[in-house]
Each structure stands twice: as C-alpha cells, then as structure tokens.
Structure 1
C-alpha cells in the first residue's frame, strides 16, 4: 500500500489496541503503543531510500528482505526497544505484541496488490502478489478516514476501529470474489492459459490484465464486467545468443528480469551498436508500456549504456540517459 494508507492503518491499529485492557487502562501505554504501531506501519518501506542509489537496486530489493519473515521480527524488536526506552515502565510484552501486529499487518496488506512482496524469504524468493487491491485504494483510505473522524468527534476508539477492521475484512472478501470471477472469465475466453496477472486500478470495477497462453501474450482490461483485449503478442522465447547473454549480464537488465513475471523482448541492430529491450506487459498507459529495461552494446558486445525503470517517451529516455541515438 502507499505511505498515506499505512499511516491511517497505523492510527487505526493504535486505536484498536485500547481494547487490550493492559493498554486501554494506562494512558502512557496507550501513547507508547500508538507511537510504536505508527513506526511499525512504516518501517518495512524504509527500503524506499534505495531509489536514491539507482533504479536497479530499488527494483531488485524493494519489498524484498525488509518485508521478509526475519525482518518482521527484527523491526518489531527494534521498534519495541526504542519505544520502551522513551516510555519506560509500560508493559513490555503487550507493547511488543502490538508492534509486531503493526509490522506484520504492513507486510500482509502489501501482498494483496499487484506489486506484491517477498514475504516468504528466506524460504522462498517468489513474489507474492494477489492482485486484489490497488497500491492506493480510495475506498480503503476513505473507510480509515471516516473511522478516524468518528473517533475525533467522540466515539470510543477501540470499538470504532474494531468495527472498521471488520468492514475492511468484508471489503477484501468482495475484492477476492471479483478477482476470481475475472480469472474464470479469462480461462473461458482464452485457450491454454498458463498465467494470469490481474492489476487493480483506482476504479472499483476496472482492472488491468496480462494473460499468458502457450503461444501468446494478451494485454487486456476488465471494466464494468466487460473484458476487452488491447494488445496481442506472439510468445517468443528469449534466444540465448551471445548478444542476449551479454545483455543479461547488465545490472539493469538482470534487476528487471528478477522482478518482472511477464514481458516481451526486442533486439535492434544499428550500424555501430545493438539494442536489447525488455518490456513489462503488466503496465499499459495510453497505449504505451512505460516499465522497461534497455541496454546498448557496441559491435564487440560490450555494454555501453543501460537503464531500467519507468519512462513514458523515447525522447525522454534517450535525452535523460545520453544513450546512443538510433
């Protein structure tokens, strides 16, 4: 989820924690837990600072180790220790429990969008992305905002936020049912389906789809119950030529391939260089696929320049990176 949603989730969880008699009966403990869950609700996204280094490092690591099982425990211990230092005397066990819940809840809700997490590390490096909720869901945020407003105007915070979480659970069930109906429709529409990636949008009944069959990739959308195919590509395996092998050694390309589950590739040959491009099919915007990885190699297959990330025009890509003009 986005930062704002994690913040309001932290506030809501801190409010719900007052139903715990140990927390609700002690104002200092209540304040300590609120501080702890707010930190815990943000901590796993500390890896966002990796973007300051470069896109390849960010793509390879964001929502990776910081969202793993060991990290959930480490974040919980560190935050609990910090808050206990600031609020000595509060019940350490209950403070730790609610901090752990906050960190675990962050990782848990991130699983439900299309980006996903590597929450099963170190047992598995597989990305878990259920495709039920957009990274920012207006309904989820609004439900939190409404509950916070009701609390501010005098409603008991514990019961207010407990009811809110129950409503959210129902909303997730509705989204799950919608997702499964789309999967069923896709399997009836296409033959020999081997993969389906569903990406929710900001709109409640609008979904982006990337469908893989034995012979084709289909990019589609599902809006208000209607499935529409936008693009169709032949599914051609990436040839393991010397050029491709050299390209895959590049850090930008390898980061892209470690993250993207469905993509097509292109190779272009120019008078003095080659260009290899991988294009993620999950993200389509106004007929353009903005998430790419590109590498340029000279005639001896030495890497000259490369890039991975979001780009919305060829002109900006080449101008920004100063790569070899075509």
Structure 2
C-alpha cells in the first residue's frame, strides 16, 4: 500500500475511535487525526534502508517497523516525540493509543498486498500476506478520502469515519471473495493439464486498475504457468488504436486482462526454457551474493542471459512484479567478466520502480 493511503487510513481510524466529547488532557479530534496520520506513515520510514542499495531495502522492507511485536515500542517512541514537539502540552499517555492504532492499521493494510509483511520480526522474518489488494488501489483510497471528508464536514465526525471503515472492511472482504474465485480458475487449469502433486501451488495476485483484474500463477516444480484474467469481462478486450497518452497506456494495461475462459496461459521456467541455458542459470542463481534476492523473490524466473565479449550477465525477474505493457520492475542478476572471474550483483534497468517510471513517460512521446 502506498504511504499516503496508509497515512490517511491512520487519520480515519483516529477519528473513528475519538470519544464523543474530549476531556481535559485528551487530544482534540483534529490533533488526534494528525497523530494518527503521522503514526500510520511511520512504518514506511524504513525507506532509509535504501541508502544501502535497492536489494537490501527490498529484502528488509516491511520488517521491524512493520512488526506487531515491536508495535508497542514504536508507539511509545512516537507518543514521546509528539508530546515533546507538539504545540499543545499533551502527555505521551494521551497520544500513545492513537499512535498504536495508526501503526496497527498500516501493518494490516500491508498484509493484504502480495509483497508480504514480517509481522513477527525480529523473531521471525517470514512474510505474511493475504494478497487481496493491489499495492495502489484507487477504490481503497477513495473510500478513505470520502470518509475523512464527511467526518471533517460534520460536527459528530466519528460516525462517517466509522461507516467508512466498515465499507473499507467490506471492500477488502469482497476482494477476498474474488481471490477465492480466481484460485478456483487456477485449480481447474492445473487439473486439466495434470499439474498436480508435490511441488504444485496455486496463487492469485491482485492487479491494477480494477478489483476484478487478477494474475493467476500455477507452480509446478521449477515451472510457472501464468494467466491474466478479469472476472467481469465476457469478451476479449482489444488494445487501443492510439499509441500516445496516459489513457492509451491504461487501455493497453486493461486489455491484458481477459475473461478466464479466454485467457492466454504463458509458461516461465525458473532457469529458462532453453536446455542449454539451464546449467549457467542454476550456477548464477546459487551464488552467495544472490542470497538476498533468493530470499525475496517468490516467483523468480530467468529473464535473459546477456553475453558481452567473454563476460556474461544472468538476469531474473519475479512474476509478482510484471505487468502487461509496462517495463518489468525489481529485476536483478549476477554478472562476471570472464569464466574465471567472481560473480557480482547486477541491477536491471527498471528495478525498484524508478527507471520504470521514466521508461513509461518515455513511451508517451513515441
């Protein structure tokens, strides 16, 4: 979930849980919303890890700052800081509950995305995920914004905030129902193609633009079978004729998702689909320098092998972060200058999203 949506959800929860009448020493509704806003944004402060490189950040993001075990300590730190630097003389005790709620709703929001959240860090670095919501969901954000707007326009503002939270919960629940439907499509495909037994798994990952857009991934050993579906479409969508503009880009993305019965299934191999590439891909994949990426990637596959003179680069992508008609993100690999040289870590253009944005903007001028 994007940080702004997290922060707004913290403000909404703070307003919904505010007492009807503020007592002496308690936060006013507006101050409570401000504290909730800042507290809910706090877990993403782990962006500072970016100074150590993109891969360490990706591997450690949503770690200790997103931990329910560390939540009481973080809430205490934030409450003390708010108390220390706020214009009003509030005690940290008056702020602590709001800070804790803000952090908690941030953690909950991230759990419903496909990235995974280490909610038990530092005792466990397992990433928990209920992949119901795409990382940027305009409908999710709109529910929060409308709830906040209604709450600020009414004197008894907590009731619109409460209603908005209920609607938000219902929306996520609806996405959960869609997720189960997509899983059934994946199971049907696996059964029809005899992709069952040990080493087989069915996954559904939410996609952009619509809650009905999903990516299905069927795992069978080191092979992935992927389909992009829209549960509401009954006809195949065609990409727009125009090549320029944001609307054309959105149209190309939307046309990538087809009715389940008409979806195109694509095959990806973790170590490639060409037998001659298998040994080199496995060697590159097993390098110690690539450990962080192996831990991070959930559906890794060989993107390509590039030869440069006597050197070579072996590039991998994760199916979680590929979208139709857009440059792939979060791709990494290992390179060496010759067969006897050590491998070094490489970062693909478009990794970490920054270059992807510039490439996307460049598409508009083509």
TM-score interval (norm. to shorter): 0.7 to 0.9
Is 1:277 paired with 2:319? Answer: no
Is 1:296 paired with 2:332? Answer: no
What is the aligned partner in structure 1 of residue 256 from structure 2? none
What is the aligned partner in structure 1 of residue 242 from structure 2? none
Task: Quote the offset at 1:92 in angstroms.
Answer: 4.8
Separation in 1 of the partners of 2:308 and 2:85?
63
Structure 1, residues 74-131: CA drift from partner, whole Å, max 9, x if none? 2101011122334676465453222111111111110001112111223421212211
With 92-101 and 164-173 compared, the bigger mean Cα shift is at 92-101
Distance 1:241 1:272, change over 3 A: closer
Is 1:207 paired with 2:242? Answer: no
Is 1:254 paired with 2:253? Answer: no
Task: Quote the offset at 1:292 in angstroms.
Answer: 1.5
Distance 1:231 1:155, change over 3 A: farther
Separation in 2 of the partners of 1:261 and 1:197?
13
Distance 1:197 1:257, change over 3 A: farther
Structure 1, residues 235-293: CA drift from partner, whole Å, max 9, x if none? 6599787982696222xx33221111111135555641232222212223327644311
With 126-135 and 50-59 compared, the bigger mean Cα shift is at 50-59
What is the aligned partner in structure 1 of residue 347 from structure 2? 307
Aligned residue for 1:101, secondary structure, equals helix
Of the candidates 266, 278, 282, which is equivalent to residue 231 of structure 1?
266
Separation in 2 of the partners of 1:131 and 1:239?
31
Separation in 1 of the partners of 2:127 and 2:147?
32
What is the aligned partner in structure 1 of residue 237 from structure 2? none
Q: How does 1:1-326 map to 2 (within 5 A)?
A: 1-19=1-19, 24-26=22-24, 29-30=27-28, 31-86=30-85, 90=90, 92-190=92-190, 191-192=195-196, 193-214=200-221, 216-225=223-232, 226-227=259-260, 228-234=263-269, 244=283, 248-250=287-289, 253-265=290-302, 267=305, 271-282=309-320, 283-286=322-325, 289-297=328-336, 298-303=338-343, 306-307=346-347, 310-311=350-351
Task: Quote the offset at 1:307 in angstroms.
Answer: 1.7
Separation in 1 of the partners of 2:113 and 2:349?
19
Separation in 2 of the partners of 1:308 and 1:46?
25
What is the aligned partner in structure 2 of residue 320 from structure 1? none
Q: Whose strand fraction is larger, Structure 1's or Structure 2's?
A: 1
How many aligned positions are there? Answer: 310
Aligned residue for 1:181, secondary structure, equals helix
Structure 2: tracts of 5 or more residues without a match: 233-258, 357-366
Which has the bigger relative contact order, CA under 8 A and spacing at least 6?
1
CA contact (8 A) 2:6 2:40 kept: yes
Separation in 1 of the partners of 2:144 and 2:12?
7
Task: Quote the offset at 1:13 in angstroms.
Answer: 1.8
Aligned residue for 2:229, secondary structure, equals strand
TM-score, structure 1 normalization: 0.83
Distance 1:209 1:63, change over 3 A: same
Say what the alpha-carbon RMSD is for the aligned residues. 3.1
What is the aligned partner in structure 2 of residue 322 from structure 1? none
Aligned residue for 1:19, secondary structure, equals coil
Runs of 4+ in 1 over 6 A off after TM superposition: 237-243
Task: Quote the offset at 1:309 in angstroms.
Answer: 7.0
CA contact (8 A) 1:68 1:120 kept: yes
